[in-house]
Structure 1
Amino acid sequence: MIKGLFILIGMISFIQDPHLVMDEETVVSIALEKNFDLILESYQVVLAENDNTMGNAGMLPTIDLSGEARQSIQNTEQQFFSGDTQSRTAAKTTNYNAGVNMAWTLFDGLKMFATKERLEEIQKTNEYAFRAQVQNVLSDVMKAFYNTALEQERLALLQSTLALSEERVGISKEKYEVGKASKLEYLQAQVDYNTDQSALVRQQEVIARSKLALLQLLGLDTSDSLSLQYNYELNGLLALPELEETALQQNPDLQYLQSQREVAVLTTRERERELYPSLDFNLGYNYSNLKAEAGFLQSNRTNGVNYGLSATMTLFDGLNQQRAIQNSRIQSEYAMTAFEQAKMQLLTAIRSGFLTLKNSLTLVALEEQNLEVAKENVEIALERYRIGKSNPLEIREAQNNAVNAQIRHLEALNSAKIAEIELKRLSGQIIN
């Protein structure tokens, strides 16, 4: 592994008055705090944690308090078998009722324990999903950071090229004025200078858009000038076999799918235990007070405790329970297949990314050599042009070759860094 790869071109010198200066650590910290995707995903973690309770699993009793106060006004005409009669107008009847009742499931085929296990696993599933979201967001932020840095370096190269073109314009103008060069040569130098200016303007727009995209990922809304401080040093990754092993153990997307399969297994266990009978314990206290101005009773007051056991068992429900069990088993098999597919895709991505990293590092070494040659070639061409021993095409070609060599070198460095970030994401090491 090649370590300690730094940009040879001066960094971010073109920013005149930066208000916001960020390095890799800064953008990562801001993303963890303000990225909207992470904030939204964190709510799911909290919801799953809130749902993971003994009460939600059905292990705790339910206690209800009820009360009622009711009054009626009626006209009554009553005749009894004894011959007596009773007549009342606007007779009031007042009735008060109150009660406290508790219901507690003592046995449900152990379904409540399977439910509690499922709720715990769902909480883990959401935590894995959040961890995967963190990995993805940080990967996107870091890639956007270094891609923006690459565009900054392109701008620095274009500025350097423009300065060289400006110097060439000055030389050709002096040569034209003293009769050592034609006006066509002077005009061609001016055209090349204008072309370089246009490229610089377009590149400034590219950088502005890249920075806006980076700020959006960070969850920031600012119009301040943004300055990036960075280098392309590689932190050093494990060898390919160790990377594959680490990915299989730590990749949060894989852990998420594995947890989903466990949820499906526990759901199947819940469905199966619904076939068993359930036993509930009931306990209550009730109070009632009746007062009437007409009727058989003038007043009636009762209070007391009631308790008992109730057992239920579903004998036939149209085979819906069996259907639910079969569907849960299918979901479990589906989750297992999805896990195996994701594992194969993960290993393929790891191997592909490792190959990209190796090739990028090879290109870095090659382009470093080309870069030195191209720089020397420009210096020689400019000096030859200054003393009149070369033509405009020769210096322009040397100039373009130098710029292309520098860009290829930067792109190779950036490609290596992006490949490293992707390998860290796939192996679950970005958070580390």
Structure 2
Amino acid sequence: MKKQSFNNIVLGFALSISFLGISQQIIRPTEAISLALEHNYGIQIANNSIEIAENNKNILNTGYLPTLTGTAGATYNRDNITAEFSNGESTTLNGAESSRYNAGINLNYTLFDGLGRHYDYKRLKEEYSLSELQARETIENTITQLLTVYYDVARRSENLKSLEETLAISKDRLTRSEYQFEYGQNTKLDVLNAEVDINNDSINIITIEQSLINAKRDLNFVTGNKIDNEFAVDTTVAFLLQLHKQELLDKLYKNNVTLIQNEKNIAINEFTIKASKSGYLPTIGLVGSYGWNENNNNAASFVAVSTNTGLSGGLNLSWNLFDGGGTITRVKNAKINLENQKLQKEQLKLDVERNFNNAWDDYQNKLRIFEVQESNIKTAKNNFSRTKEKFKLGQVTSIEFRQAQLNLLTAELNRNQAKYDAKLAEVLVLQLSGELLNVQF
């Protein structure tokens, strides 16, 4: 009775997992990538950084527009005054009141600043392009992270299926061992060994099921938690076998985001040098104002009320003939930074080439390993099938049968690992060559 209850529990557990897998929504790589592009927080932050860079390169931030300043003021006085006039008369006023009011608009516009703002404007445009490249890098890294987690979920899902099949075989073996024991064809030890193997298989299923749940949480995290709790992934993997190393290497020099960012930094430093040189030239500015003033004088004044309005304008020139060497130092440092950027470009080029070659070789090796593991599966299945027939005929022991069963399981797990290792190696090759965003997964 206890044996039957145990079998029912294990069977129910396996069936519940199978039913859950059937009823789950299938999330494919393209769908997961779309969710990540829309909801991943890192990508959203990167997009906001692009908006900041776009605001910075706007003409409103370049210094090309004039500044207008409005001013206004009011003054009230209450004085005690003793006044003597030129004709000899005098007067004394206590609490004499007077007031003054003014308002004006002042304009200030730089006509020429040594071309500093001209090159600053170009630098801001390059910084905007750089922020777009940084966002693209974030997107590529996020997609790589997503695919890594996605294929981890797929691998664990296939491992779970293999373990379920192993459990089903162990259950069948237990049933057969119990019948053989009842008819005196084997010993109680065979039955106990079969029960132990079922327990081990069940523990393996429980373990892989929990790890699969954790991996799904990781996938959901990358997509901004926008996938329903109950979902499955597509375990079908298609390799881009039409990839050619030299073609990808040619694209790498044009499309690798790290190399392009370095080129943008070089352009930014070139404009920084030119902007720094503007300190050698004069600055010419235009100033203008329109004002209104009203004075309400006390009785001691010759004029009781005066009001005036008027326009004024002019040009000013400022030339810093010597600033203590600050401009010279800035220009020299900018030139050194530019030289460092060019040296870094050559270093990055070598580094990216090395990484690409390593990734390509790793991809090719893992494809070959996957092919070998596929061949191992056929051998392991054939071996298990023959061992199973001999086990039914009593020509092999339960230990030999179990070993063939485990060999098949190991071959399946290794095949799953090799398949997704090869796919992730392919993803890395695409990322390094700058083609990750141009392919369909």
The reply to whether TM is greater than 0.5 is: yes
- Structure 2 counterpart of 1:270: 275
Query: Is 1:200 paired with 2:205?
Result: yes
- Structure 2 counterpart of 1:385: 391
Helix, strand or coil at the partner of 2:106: strand
**Whole-angstrom CA distance in 2 between matches of 1:278 and 1:371:** 79
Query: Is 1:228 paired with 2:233?
Result: yes
CA spacing shift, 1:100–1:406, aligned 2, 3 Å: same
- Structure 2 counterpart of 1:315: 321
Counterparts of residues 253-402 of structure 1 (less than 5 Å) = 253-296=258-301, 297-402=303-408
CA spacing shift, 1:217–1:306, aligned 2, 3 Å: same
The worse-fitting range, judged by mean Cα deviation, of 68-77 and 238-247 is 68-77
Query: Is 1:101 paired with 2:109?
Result: no
CA spacing shift, 1:18–1:79, aligned 2, 3 Å: farther
**Whole-angstrom CA distance in 2 between matches of 1:42 and 1:237:** 33
Q: In 1, are the aligned partners of 2:83 and 2:91 still within 8 Å (CA)? A: yes
Alignment-mate amino acid for residue 386 of structure 1: K
- Structure 1 counterpart of 2:10: none
Alignment-mate amino acid for residue 134 of structure 1: I
Alignment-mate amino acid for residue 187 of structure 1: L
**Whole-angstrom CA distance in 2 between matches of 1:347 and 1:171:** 60
Q: In 2, are the aligned partners of 1:285 and 1:305 still within 8 Å (CA)? A: yes
**Whole-angstrom CA distance in 2 between matches of 1:152 and 1:194:** 20
User: TM-score scaled by structure 1?
Assistant: 0.93
Count the aligned residue pairs: 421
Instruction: Report Cα offsets for 1:143-187 as digits up to 9, x if no partner.
Output: 211111011111111111111111111111111121111111211
Q: In 1, are the aligned partners of 2:366 and 2:422 still within 8 Å (CA)? A: yes
Q: In 2, are the aligned partners of 1:20 and 1:224 still within 8 Å (CA)? A: no
Instruction: Report Cα offsets for 1:329-361 as digits up to 9, x if no partner.
Output: 222222223322222221111111111111111
Determine which of 77, 82, 89 is the counterpart of 1:72: 77
- Structure 1 counterpart of 2:185: 180
- Structure 1 counterpart of 2:194: 189
Determine which of 407, 417, 420 is the counterpart of 1:414: 420
More helix as a share of residues = 2
The worse-fitting range, judged by mean Cα deviation, of 380-389 and 191-200 is 380-389
Alignment-mate amino acid for residue 398 of structure 2: P
Instruction: Report Cα offsets for 1:99-157 as digits up to 9, x if no partner.
Output: 12222211111122111111111111101111111111111111211111011111111
- Structure 2 counterpart of 1:4: none
Question: What is the root-mean-square deviation in Å for CA atoms of aligned residues?
Answer: 1.8
Q: Note the residue ranges of structure 2 that are not aligned, 5 or more in a row.
A: 1-16
Q: In 1, are the aligned partners of 2:380 and 2:408 still within 8 Å (CA)? A: yes
CA spacing shift, 1:403–1:288, aligned 2, 3 Å: same
Q: In 1, are the aligned partners of 2:35 and 2:226 still within 8 Å (CA)? A: no
Q: Note the residue ranges of structure 1 that are not aligned, 5 or more in a row.
A: 1-11
- Percent sequence identity over aligned pairs: 26
Query: Is 1:147 paired with 2:149?
Result: no
**Whole-angstrom CA distance in 1 between matches of 2:300 and 2:50:** 62
Q: In 2, are the aligned partners of 1:19 and 1:224 still within 8 Å (CA)? A: no
Q: In 1, are the aligned partners of 2:43 and 2:138 still within 8 Å (CA)? A: yes
The worse-fitting range, judged by mean Cα deviation, of 88-97 and 221-230 is 221-230
**Whole-angstrom CA distance in 2 between matches of 1:138 and 1:16:** 25
**Whole-angstrom CA distance in 2 between matches of 1:251 and 1:15:** 42
**Whole-angstrom CA distance in 1 between matches of 2:243 and 2:381:** 35
1:299: Cα distance to partner?
2.1
Q: In 2, are the aligned partners of 1:24 and 1:230 still within 8 Å (CA)? A: no
Alignment-mate amino acid for residue 273 of structure 2: T
